[in-house]
Structure 1
């Protein structure tokens, strides 16, 4: 079964000592591509360099809300220039985090809006982070308009999930679905439309129940797959096939090319609002 890890911070320093071994294990586990979203501008060059060396890695560039102290508003201009030059398959990781009280919500919102407008202008999907902020995030998505993407590690309500699906967004599912105590999430997984689901690890964070307390890595993605298959009463091969197709469609991936191969075009969409 071919799998795509739709959210993995393979550029994180936790992997600096054994990244090649991590990637080898991922390949052995059937993980053919690893979507790697950046977290701040200082990390873009490292991620770009890794993708040029490792064909599994698909680099994505953005400004993560949890790293607000690293961000400057001029980084939005730098991101626009970087995206125009590098032509990534998405913008992210970006979003809103209202779980941590020290993160200024107004500044988060301003930096997110800049990235959403950039994604719309370049006709790129967004990889979204939303903690205690799903309703506000959906309101911004509607306000900006013309957007598509994925809310990674989704943990919202059934109503929020269905609204996001109606808006054309996908939902990323990872390690949390493997924990029996995650009753609401596991119930949600049984009901969500499969054509709106993506598999992810969020490595090195959010390990599955079989690797609790350990560093997570993309080779653990099959544990997420099998948990979802069991919850839905479907064959793992069918879940793998559909989520693989979902990722290919959302990120416009060409599996015949190296992951860092530039997308065609690279200019903003003509319908700018």
Structure 2
């Protein structure tokens, strides 16, 4: 199992849970969204990462705190990424439910992170609740380039990863030339337009996630729940292709 987006630092008894996940061969990317969470996943990585099985993490600034982010916050993010050459950038993005969606701050913080992804050659985990096409425009503004004609996207170029994907078929067609990856959640199959769009994504560009970020369960029970949720996404994906 590979959980492409989990907020391990926000879950209870995170160290015990991390050990159980690794013992069960439940692979994952531990995503972080703000400075306190960066520190938590960094410490987990130091404790649990090995050469045989690196502990996969991201560092980013979520749109929920975009209006609070400062130049110092961005400098701290850069430092985290430079210290960990395997870390992805994100969770970054835009979200119409939070301040700064229409008046600039979310766009500017996203552009800064997209620029870091390009500069440091890291994939970018993207959160979008709102206008997916606007995200593509921002990626282009930051310097991401779409492959032309019959060309395939260069693997040397960082890939945008659309987490908890909820876009439509037109967006998929526009995003694939950027080398986009799509991380599917149970919610991805609730909208008919998204469920139809998923059929257009090459299987090599599809991943599954729980996006787990809170629970009252003990680690062993939570592990069972996570496995069940991830399997549910896998089955929904298989059914969508029928």
The answer to whether TM tops 0.5 is: yes
For residue 35 of structure 1, the aligned residue among 29, 32, 40 is: 29
Runs of 4+ in 1 over 6 A off after TM superposition: none
1:172-211 correspondence runs (5 A): 172-177=183-188, 181-204=190-213
Aligned-partner Cα distance in 1 for 2:196–2:104: 33
Give per-residue Cα distances to partners, 1:135-161, cap 9 Å, x unaligned.
111001112224422011111111011
Secondary structure at 1:38's aligned position in 2?
coil
Structure 2 counterpart of 1:228, from 204, 214, 237: 237
The answer to whether structure 1 residue 16 and structure 2 residue 12 are counterparts is yes
Query: Which is bigger in relative contact order (C-alpha 8 A, separation at least 6)?
Result: 1
> Is the counterpart of residue 47 in structure 1 residue 41 in structure 2?
yes
Partner-residue secondary structure (3-state), 1:191: coil
Aligned ranges for residues 59-98 of structure 1 at < 5 Å?
A: 59-98=57-96
Q: Does 1:149 align with 2:145?
A: no
| Residues 183, 227 of structure 1: alpha-carbon distance in 2 compared, 3 angstrom cutoff | same
Aligned counterparts of 1:114 and 1:9: Cα–Cα separation in 2: 22
8 A Cα contact 1:128 1:149, kept in partner: yes
Cα separation, 1, equivalents of 2:30 and 2:61: 13
> Partner residue of 1:137?
135
**Superposition TM-score, scaled by structure 1 size:** 0.71
Deviation at 1:217, TM superposition (A): 5.6
Structure 2 vs 1, CA of residues 150 and 137 (structure 1 numbering), >3 Å: closer, same or farther? same
Change (3 A) 1:43 1:164: same
1:196 offset after TM fit, Å?
Answer: 1.7
- Residue 27 of structure 1 deviates from its aligned partner by 5.4
CA contact (8 A) 1:134 1:156 kept: yes
Distance 1:221 1:185, change over 3 A: same
Task: Give TM-score scaled by structure 2 length.
Answer: 0.79
Q: 1:171 aligns to what SS in structure 2?
A: strand
Aligned length: 217
Partners of 1:25 and 1:47 lie apart in 2 by 15
**How far apart are the structure 2 equivalents of 1:24 and 1:81?**
30
Structure 1, unmatched stretches of 5+, are 206-213, 234-273
Could you list the per-position Cα deviations for residues 47-94 of structure 1 after superposition, in whole angstroms to 9, with x for gaps in the alignment?
A: 111122234741211111112354222111111122111223310110
Deviation at residue 45 of structure 1 after TM alignment? 1.2
- 1:217 & 1:11 partners in 2: Cα distance? 17
